[in-house]
């Protein structure tokens, strides 16, 4: 096997959306770094069954502005 071609694999801390945290091994960042999640299995609709709209970058506002005159009520 070739030497020095694999990324560094080290321990990091992952912080979930509810504030809980756990340690895991990853190639993310440097040893001891923290990864904060915006969406995780506790909040993602695929796991919770609850669907909600997440407006990232104003896309939802842009959509509503573009189609506001079609007679669809909020």
Note the pLDDT tens digit of each residue in 5-26: 888 899 999 999 889 999 999 9
User: Is the pLDDT confidence value at 61 over 70?
Assistant: yes
Whole-number pLDDT of residue 28: 92
Whole-number pLDDT of residue 73: 61
Residues 6+ apart with CB under 8 A from 26: 9, 10, 11, 12, 35
CA distance 40 to 55: 16
Note the pLDDT tens digit of each residue in 33-47: 999 988 887 777 777
DSSP E strand boundaries for 1-74: 10-15, 21-26, 34-36
Query: What percent of the chain has a predicted confidence (pLDDT) above 90?
Result: 32
């Amino acid at each position: 096997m070739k030497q020095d071609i694999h990324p560094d694999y080290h321990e990091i801390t992952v912080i979930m959306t509810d504030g809980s945290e756990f340690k895991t091994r990853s190639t993310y960042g440097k040893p001891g770094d923290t990864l904060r999640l915006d969406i995780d299995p506790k909040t993602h609709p695929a796991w919770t069954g609850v669907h909600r709209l997440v407006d990232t970058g104003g896309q939802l506002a842009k959509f509503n502005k573009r189609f506001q005159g079609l007679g669809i009520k909020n």
